[in-house]
Structure 1
Amino acid sequence: MKRDQLKTLYLFAGGVLLVALAAVSVLVVHETRAHARTTAEALFHEDVRTALWRMETRVGSMVATTTMRGGDAVPASDYSNRWIAPKDNALNDEAAPTGSLRSEIVEAADDAFVMACGLAETGPLQEAVTTPDPALSGAAESRGWRRSQEEYLARQASTNVTHVVSANRDVEGAGSWTMGPLAPVWCGTDAARELYLARRVEAGGGVRHESYRIPWPELEALLLAEIADLFPDARLVPLTGPLATQVLDPARDVPTEDDAFRLAAIPVRLEASPGSKVRVAMTPFAILGAGWASLLAGLGMGWFALRSSVAYGDKHRRFTHAVTHELRTPLTTFRMYSEMLARGMVPEESRPEYLATLESESLRLSGLVENVLRYAQLEEGAGDVRRETLDGAELMRRIEPELSGICARAGAGFELELGVGSEAPCSTDPQAIAQILMNLVENACKYGFRGSEAAKVRVWAHGDRGHLLVDVIDEGPGVPGPMGARVFEPFERAGRDSSDRAPGVGLGLALSRDLARSLGGDLTLESGSRGATFRLRV
Structure 2
Amino acid sequence: MQRTTRAWVMFALCAMALLAAMGWTTAEALRLEEQEARAWSHAGTQGAIRVALGRLEAVLAPLVAPEEARPYLHYRAYYTPPRTFESPGNPARQSTVLLPSPLRDSTPRFVRLHFEVGSEGVVTSPQIPENKKKVVAAPQLVQLRGLASVFKDISLPDQWSEVELEQAEVFDGSNLQGGQKRQQRGRVQTAWTQNEYIARNAMQNSVQGFINKQRNEANRALVDLAVEQGPLRAVWVDVEGEPELFFLRRVEAKGRSWVQGIWWDWAALRSWLLEEVADIFPEATLEPARTPATKDGVPSADAGRRLATVPAVLNPGALLAPEPIGWSPTRVGLLVTWVAILASLGSVALVLRASLELGERRGRFVSAVTHELRTPLTTFQMYAQMLADGMVPTPEARQEYLETLKGESSRLARVVESVLLYSQIERGGRNVRKERITVSDLVDGLLPPMSSRAAEGGMQLVVAQDVADGAAVEVDAQAVEQILLNLIDNACKYARDAADRGLQLDVATGGRVVEIQLRDHGPGVPDDVRSTLFEPYRRAERHEAGPVSGVGLGLALARGLARAFGGDLELVPEEELGAAFKVTLPLA
Shift in CA distance, 482/256, structure 1 to aligned 2, threshold 3 Å: closer
Aligned to 2:492: 445
Query: Cα deviations across residues 438-466 of structure 1 (Å, max 9, x unaligned)?
Result: 11112222222227x79543433233334
Matches within 5 A, 1:343-358: 343-346=389-392, 347-358=394-405
CA distance in 1, matches of 2:6, 2:75: 104
Distance 2:409 2:335 in 1: 62
> More displaced, 362-371 or 251-260?
251-260
> 1:113-152 alignment to 2 at 5 Å?
113-115=157-159
CA 1:353–1:116: 2 relative to 1, 3 Å: farther
Range with greater deviation from structure 2 (26-35 or 423-432): 26-35
Residues 1:237 and 2:323 aligned together: no
What residue number does 2:56 align with? 55
Residue 402 of structure 1: aligned partner: 449
**Secondary structure of the structure 2 residue equivalent to 1:114:** coil
Q: Secondary structure at the match of 2:508?
A: strand
Please point out which of 400, 405, 422 is paired with 1:375: 422
Counterpart for residue 84 of structure 1: 108
CA distance in 2, matches of 1:212, 1:402: 123
Determine the C-alpha separation between the residues in 1 that align with 2:161 and 2:72. 18
In the aligned structure 1, how far is the partner of 2:491 from the partner of 2:75?
A: 131
2: distance between equivalents of 1:27 and 1:116?
59
Query: Do the aligned residues in 1 keep the contact of 2:68 with 2:231 (CA within 8 Å)?
Result: no
Distance in 2, matches of 1:287 and 1:449, equals 64
In 2, are the aligned partners of 1:521 and 1:536 still within 8 Å (CA)? yes
Aligned to 1:145: none
Offset of residue 507 of structure 1:
0.5
Q: What does residue 319 of structure 2 align with?
A: 275
Structure 1 Cα separation of the partners of residues 543 and 243 of structure 2: 103
* TM-aligned CA distance change 1:354 to 1:528, over 3 Å: farther
What corresponds to 1:535 in structure 2? 582
Q: What corresponds to 2:201 in structure 1?
A: none
Worse-matched range after superposition: 453-462 or 512-521: 453-462
Change in Cα spacing, 1:50 to 1:465, as seen in structure 2 (3 Å) is closer
Q: Is the 8 A contact 2:562 2:584 kept in 1?
A: yes
1:215 paired with 2:265, answer yes
Q: Which moved more, 1:73-82 or 1:30-39?
A: 73-82
Give the Å deviation of 1:508: 0.5
Q: 2:275 matched to which residue of 1?
A: 225
Q: CA deviation at 1:433?
A: 0.6
Write the mapping of 1:450-465 to structure 2, written as runs, cut at 5 A.
Answer: 450=497, 455-465=501-511
2:231 counterpart of 1:181 = yes
Q: Give aligned pairs, total.
A: 487
Which residue of 2 is the match for residue 468 of structure 1?
Answer: 514
Equivalent residue, structure 1, for 2:409: 362
**Aligned residue runs from structure 1 range 7-18, under 5 A:** 7-18=8-19
The whole-number CA distance in structure 2 between the counterparts of 1:348 and 1:358 is: 15
User: Does structure 1 residue 328 correspond to structure 2 residue 352?
Assistant: no
- Deviation of residue 524 (structure 1)? 2.1
Q: Kindly provide the CA deviation profile for residues 265-309 of structure 1, in whole angstroms up to 9, marking residues without a partner as x.
A: 222222234623444754444444444443333333333332332
Normalised by the size of structure 1, how large is the TM-score? Answer: 0.77
Residue 433 of structure 2 contacts residue 475 of structure 2 at CA under 8 Å; is this kept in 1?
yes
Aligned-pair distance for 1:509? Answer: 0.6
Distance in 2 (CA, whole Å) between partners of 1:499 and 1:64 is 110
Are the counterparts in 2 of residues 334 and 358 from structure 1 also a CA contact under 8 Å? yes
State how 1:334-345 maps to structure 2 within 5 Å: 334-345=380-391
Identify if the C-alpha distance between structure 1 residues 200 and 391 changes in structure 2 by more than 3 Å, giving closer, same or farther.
same
Q: Which amino acid aligns with 2:43?
A: A
Question: 189-198 or 405-414, which moves further after superposition?
Answer: 189-198
After TM superposition, the score normalised by the length of structure 2 is: 0.71
Partner SS state of residue 459, structure 1 = strand
The aligned counterpart of 2:435 is 388
Gap change, CA 1:342 and 1:11, over 3 Å in 2 = same
Determine helix, strand or coil for the equivalent of 1:523: strand
Cα gap change, 1:279/1:454 in structure 2, threshold over 3 Å: closer, same or farther?
Answer: closer
- Of the candidates 164, 182, 186, which is equivalent to residue 187 of structure 2? 164
Distance in 2 separating the partners of 1:102 and 1:10: 87
One-letter code of the match for 1:491?
Y
For 2:580, the aligned partner's letter is T
Kindly indicate whether the alpha-carbon contact (under 8 Å) linking 1:414 and 1:457 is maintained by their aligned counterparts in 2.
Answer: yes
2:485 aligned with 1:425, yes or no? Answer: no
2:473 counterpart SS class? strand
Tell me which residue corresponds to 2:214: none
Contact 1:472 1:535 in 2 (8 A): yes
Amino acid at match of 2:147: L
- Whole-angstrom distance in 1 between the partners of 2:45 and 2:149: 41
Q: Secondary structure at the match of 1:537?
A: strand
Return the alpha-carbon distance in structure 2 between the equivalents of residues 382 and 230 of structure 1: 76
- Corresponding residue for residue 514 of structure 1: 560
Q: 1:222 to 1:65 in 2, by over 3 A?
A: same
Q: CA deviation at 1:103?
A: 5.3
1:422–1:461 contact (8 Å) kept in structure 2: no
3-state SS in 2 of match to 1:534 = strand
Deviation, 1:30, is 3.9
Structure 1 residue 93, shift from structure 2 partner: 5.6
Q: 1:493 aligns to what SS in structure 2?
A: helix
2:463 touches 2:505 (CA, 8 Å); kept in 1?
yes
Code of the aligned partner of 2:367: H
Distance 1:192 1:447 in 2: 102
Cα distance in 1 between the residues matched to 2:564 and 2:159: 103
**Alpha-carbon spacing, 1:474–1:33, altered in 2? closer, same or farther (3 Å):** closer
Cross-structure match for 1:142: none
| Aligned mates of 1:260, 1:297 — CA distance in 2 | 51
In the TM superposition, residue 238 of structure 1 has moved relative to its aligned partner by: 2.5
1:437 Cα offset (Å): 0.9
Taking the aligned partners of 2:243 and 2:493, their CA distance within structure 1 comes to: 109
Could you report, residue by residue, the CA deviation over 1:166-189 in whole angstroms, capped at 9, with x for unpaired residues?
449998568576643222344665
The 1:500–1:474 alpha-carbon spacing in structure 2 relative to 1, beyond 3 Å, is: same
> Counterpart of 2:378 in structure 1: which amino acid?
T
Match of 1:41 in 2: 42
Question: Cα gap change, 1:44/1:528 in structure 2, threshold over 3 Å: closer, same or farther?
Answer: closer
Matched to 1:533, the amino acid is A
One of 493, 504, 517 as aligned partner of 2:539: 493
Task: Indicate conservation of the 8 Å contact 1:262/1:269, yes or no.
Answer: yes
Q: Distance in 2 between matches of 1:481 and 1:15?
A: 33
Matches of 1:415 and 1:162, distance apart in 2: 121
**In structure 1, what is the Cα distance between the partners aligned to 2:160 and 2:422?**
105
What code does the residue aligned with 1:356 have? E
In structure 2, what residue type is equivalent to 1:164? R
Distance 1:418 1:39 in 2: 80
Q: Which moved more, 1:366-375 or 1:469-478?
A: 469-478
User: Structure 1 CA distance, aligned partners of 2:500 and 2:152?
Assistant: 130
- Paired with 1:45 and 1:418, the residues of 2 have a C-alpha distance of 88
Cα 1:381–1:94 shift into 2, 3 Å: same
Q: State the percentage of identical aligned residues.
A: 33
Larger mean CA deviation between 454-463 and 482-491 belongs to: 454-463
Partner of 1:148: none
Quick one: which amino acid aligns to residue 268 of structure 1? A
| Alignment-derived partner of residue 130 in structure 1 | none
Question: What amino acid does structure 2 have at the position aligned with 1:232?
Answer: P
Q: 1:369 to 1:385 in 2, by over 3 A?
A: same
Answer yes or no: is 1:523 the counterpart of 2:569: yes
Q: Which piece of structure 1 moves more, 328-337 or 291-300?
A: 291-300
- Superposed CA RMSD: 3.9
Aligned counterparts of 2:296 and 2:415: Cα–Cα separation in 1: 104
> How far apart, in 2, do the equivalents of 1:500 and 1:187 lie?
106
1:503 aligns with 2:549: yes
Query: What's the counterpart of residue 128 of structure 2?
Result: 95
Question: Secondary structure in 2 aligned to 1:257?
Answer: coil
1:59 deviates by 1.2
Q: Which whole-Å CA distance do the structure 1 matches of 2:434 and 2:288 have between them?
A: 98
Report which of the two structures shows the higher radius of gyration computed on alpha carbons. Answer: 2
Flag the 1:473–1:278 CA change in 2: closer, same or farther, 3 A. Answer: closer
